[in-house]
A = this chain, B = another copy of it.
Amino acid sequence: MSKIIVSANGTKKDAIIKKAAGLFRHKGFAGTSMRELAESIGVEAPSLYNHIGSKIELLQNICFKVANEFMLHLHQTEQESNSTIDKLKHIIQFHIQMMVNEYDEVFVANHEWKQLKDPYLTDFLLQRKAYEKKLIDIVNEGIENNAIKNIHPQIAVLTILSAVRGLEFWQGQKNQMEVMELENNMIDHLLNGLVK
């Protein structure tokens, strides 16, 4: 077998990307060298280039994989004909789940996308703006339906996204029990507030 250990249904490139996500999270994209990445895999740096095109390509893969997953889920949520509040609950829950299940990738997409080069940088930002726009539409829908108070929709979305994207400190505790507690508390906090 090869030195690069692949998981089921995964290519060697996937395995490299996975390791890269972990290192990029800990040390940043610019702060991680290909030699480090290679060593963490158990291989010499040039060997990586049998499987990948470049360092920046790794970052592109991570960022767009995450962006696509979020966008796909949002599309699905839009098409379910739940109440506005349930949609928001669903979205917040998904963000938390992603944060728990694909922590490295989501973190890197949230923090290192600035290191992307055009045209990928522009694409990424457009996708992000589109995502926020869709969320704002949902909040507006809730305001029209009298389900949500007359708050500034953009600020409400900003607050929610900031809150869920910033979840990075919730580390190590992957215990499913605690994740559910986190979900329930955050959803309640962001929807119903803190005041008794």
Contact = CB atoms under 8 A, between A and B. Distances in A.
Interface of A: 26-31, 85, 88, 111-112, 114-115, 139, 142, 146-149, 151-152, 155-156, 158-167, 169-170, 181-182, 185-186, 188-196
B114 A27 contact: yes
B163 A159 contact: yes
A152 B180 CA distance: 12
A148 B170 CA distance: 22
Contacts of A192: 193-195
Contact of A190 (B28, B115, B147, B193): B193
Nearest to A167: B162
A150 to B, nearest CB: 8
Contacts of A155: 181-182, 185-186, 189
A193 B191 contact: yes
Stoichiometry, as copies per complex, reads: 2
A151 B185 CA distance: 7
B193 A146 contact: no
Contact of A189 (B114, B161, B181, B190): B190
A123 B162 CA distance: 26
A72 to B, nearest CB: 22
Contacts of A139: 194
Contact of A193 (B112, B162, B170, B193): B193
Given A28-B114, A155-B185, A195 B163 contact: no
Nearest to A155: B185
Nearest to A112: B28
16 contacts: A27-B115, A28-B28, A28-B30, A28-B112, A88-B194, A148-B194, A149-B195, A151-B188, A152-B185, A159-B190, A161-B166, A162-B166, A162-B169, A163-B166, A190-B194, A192-B193
A156 B40 CA distance: 37
